[in-house]
Amino acid sequence: MSADASPTQPIVFLRAPQVCLKTGRSKRQLYRMVAADEFPPSHRQSHKVAVWYGHEVEAWLIWRMAVDAGKRIASWRDCLPEGLRA
């Protein structure tokens, strides 16, 4: 099966409590890391609802594990799948 024929994964939206649970960080820490460009930004769904894309949070988790293991990776963005990099 070629890369073009592979099924796409659905986009998963995570709310702040879910992101906090996955990362072990508080909501305040998330927003501080976003401001410092150390964590994926949230995306507004409405004036009251902000979500994170699941694949971006997963990329951040992979990046953190790599950095903790001593690997030098510049940014969590470098851990995004090829088709999702900006």
- pLDDT tens series, the chain, 86 aa: 334 444 567 889 999 999 999 999 999 999 999 999 999 999 999 999 999 999 999 999 999 999 999 999 989 999 988 776 66
| 20 and 61 Cβ atoms separated by less than 8 Å | no
Domain assignments of the chain as residue spans, ordered by start: 11-77
CATH of domain 11-77: 1.10.1660.10
**Could you give the CA distance from residue 84 to residue 86 in angstroms, rounded to a whole number?**
6
pTM: 0.83
| 78 and 63 Cβ atoms separated by less than 8 Å | yes
With 0-12 / 13-18 / 19 or more C-beta atoms within 10 angstroms meaning exposed / middle / buried, residue 61 is middle
* Lookup: tokens for 30: 């998330």
